[in-house]
Amino acid sequence: MEALDCSLDNGITTQSLEGRTKVFDTHEKEPPQRTPFHELLLASLDDIMLKILMACAIVSMVVDYALHKEGGSPWYVEGLAIWFAIAVVSLVTAISDYQKEGEFLKKQLIEENSKVVSIFSIIVYLSTLS
């Protein structure tokens, strides 16, 4: 017990706490960070089907502009409709992922807090036995 600088009755001293922190660190875990929404949005745009739709939208707009005749509907309508569909799909995916991640982080924090409470309860119970 002397080598560990602690006592069976009182535990460790406050003087040895700083040295212990330098040697063993604090063992504190950083809280999990939430992924920013814009990163989730960019990740949702990385889908292969959305990339194909983006290429189709560009081709559609170029072809419609080149073959556009006066008096008809504007040349950009079909291309904009495709871009709108891409925006809707990617936004819905990003919002869904953002909400799921929030729920996961809440659940993770609750589990960590319950572990701390459980360990504390065990320590208190064991201290009452002696």
Let me know if residue 26 belongs to a domain: no
Read off the pLDDT of each residue in 98-103 and give the average, rounded to a whole number.
Answer: 94
What does the pLDDT read at residue 96? 97
For residue 114, what pLDDT band results from cuts at 50, 70 and 90?
Answer: low
Read off the pLDDT of each residue in 47-71 and give the average, rounded to a whole number.
Answer: 93
pTM, whole model, 2 decimals? Answer: 0.65
Q: Is 88 exposed, middle or buried (0-12, 13-18, 19+ CB in 10 A)?
A: exposed
Let me know if residue 78 belongs to a domain: yes
Cα gap 39→32, rounded to integer Å: 16
What does the pLDDT read at residue 31? 76
- Rounded to 5 degrees, what angle do the CA atoms 125, 128, 130 make? 120
Question: How many domains does one find in the chain?
Answer: 1
Task: List the domain range (segments joined by +) for residue 118.
Answer: 34-129
Element (H, E) at 11: strand 11-12
